[in-house]
A and B are shown apart, each in its own frame.
Chain A
Amino acid sequence: MKIRASIGTLSVLGLSRIKMSAVPTTAYFLQYSEEGCLGECTYCTQSHINLFRKDYLSRVIWPECELEQVVVALSKSSTFKRVCLQTVIRRGFLSEVINFTRVLRELGVHLPLSIAVTPLPKGMLETLKSLGVNRVGIGLDVVTPELFLKVRKPYSWSVYWSFIDKALEVFGKATVHLIFGLGEKLIDFISTMASLVSRGADVALFPYTPVGNLRVSKRPELKVYRVIQAIRYLLTEGYNLDDIVKLSGHKLLVKDVIYDVPLEAFLTSGCPNCNRPFYTESPLRIYNYPSFNLLIRDKFKVYEQLNEGVFKLSEG
């Protein structure tokens, strides 16, 4: 079966060679589709509606390979702590997901397994669980029903939310992906994070990343992203939104508790052991830190950016 794997994953497995300043701790796979995904998300390189090379997802290259060959290499490696498959929408994608999990287990890879999916038909989650999938990642990506329509997400806003609830019911946990910088209001972004966390979901944060000529928005300001990261961290630590921010007219006032967040708030968020090195940024200007080493190197810079972000918001 044909599959795509991230260049970093292949490099760790010795199937490709690139220079890396951080090593992926999850083995990343992307479902193969020559024409791309039938979804029409305006910001996605995989969508069939743009002419982008289909071996790209975000700014990372994903060469096509034979699943069995990569999985054999994977079974011998001890670098990875998790496997992740990102699906695309196309004919037969559901049965292929099942096949992927089977091949993995049959070839002796027993790492925790995440499947990043669009909403699945009811019942399919139980099937995946029985095949050893631990959790699903759900690319909600946007934070309001209006934006959902604007960026042409597939299915519907309510289908996504009921799928999130169903995933939580079946797996007891779920990772919901949100992209910051697609034109949303800050308060909508934060409230959606709060609503997801209160349901029991983990939020995986992505800064919007323009790739090549695919630019539906601007890259978000790093200092504001730091605030978002800190708020996400506090929410997962059990703080209520009211404990963290206050809305004053159009201004969002961030309370002092934000200065207490530890460094780890700025690590890549998502499923356990998912670090996605440089998936959404160049190593020169890091949004999601893939490792503690890099974070410690930049720690003063990071808190300074957070301060600037808080100040910017208070200015309105």
Chain B
Amino acid sequence: MSISKMSVPTPGEVLAPLALQRRTVKLTGWRLAALVAGVIAVLSFVRIVTGATQIDSAGTIAAAIGLAIPIGMAGLGGLWSERAGVVNIGLEGMMILGTWGAGWAGTLYGPWWGLIAGAAFGAIGGLVHAVATVTFGVDQIVSGVAINLLGLGITQYLSALVWPGQPTQSPSIPAIGTFTLPGFSDAMATIAEKGWFFVSDCASILRALTFQVPYTTFIAVALLPITFFLLWRTAFGLRLRSCGEAPHAAESLGVNVYLHKYIAVVVSGALAGFGGGVLATVLAGIYREGQTGGQGFIGLAAMIFGNWRVGGLGAGSLLFGYTQAMQLRSGDAVHALLLAIVVALVVLGVWMLWRRKFSGAITSLVVAGVAFLWYVTTDTLPDQVAYVTPYVATLLVLSLASQRLRMPAADGKPYIKGQDH
């Protein structure tokens, strides 16, 4: 009854949406294109004003995409699992298993086998999570935490067993093939160097997309629409999602809830493991202990940022990948980014004024002012600013938009067949 609204939200009840406030502008193809163009224009403007070419150089963008892949795969894993109603904070552990699997099989049989082994190791982690949460009804957070600990322990032991001399890392893994569009990518590089407004920035992006792109990137990116198709366009997907929304209703219509949850959590583990595999084989070329460094959690954050949807999760992963890429760049670039934020906030503020949302407009303009002051009074930003950006962004998104976010209704709630809710 209504009392329950006042109770402590269980992990599953967080972010309870207010249905009436959920009216958002639908993102059509044109609006999306306009948004992307707007972002490029802002970056371009800032690049020209500050001279910090690295904020959208082809190298930066390629790095951002590369770094976004493991995040996106972990997030996609989270999406599968949570859409079926199982909260999966064990993604990090599954990803660790994936990195090790890739390091082991990658050094022995080549990078492709490494990726397959990574996915398989992750899937095993997912299976353990499924057994604990679906079959035994253990609290999903507790099980996830335990899997994170277990993933670390198992890989440490296996490393010591397999690479006794140097147990914290593997020998290097042979590199995976890359794709370059001959002629075109060089042409883009040439245009990018001209420094033209907007045009050069677009060229940088195209250069990044056509020059030495690892094949895994294509696989990973393809997995997004594939997931969308499977979950939103097939009967299987509808049933799987129904387990996350209304499992009792689903069961009453003959859906095998346990089976679908199992499949979802195992796939979730496989995707996180694949993400770990990419981290080891493609990004690092080596397995190193502690390599994941919380990418699994950031993936989870990207998924929440993306409102449990494929497109949003892709955008979130890119954003987080970009901030990580900026970490590797010079302090100038990060500093210039501050100006980009100022411009973006001003644009947002003006738009809000136009939409007559005055309080929102004032907030963003004030924040823009503060950020601008910060920008003009400093020359560089501490490296740590870029490091904490994904985490702070997640906290901000959650605290500002938690009413707009919509998690699956039965997410996090143990489902026991036949028991009333």
Q: Do A and B come from one complex?
A: no
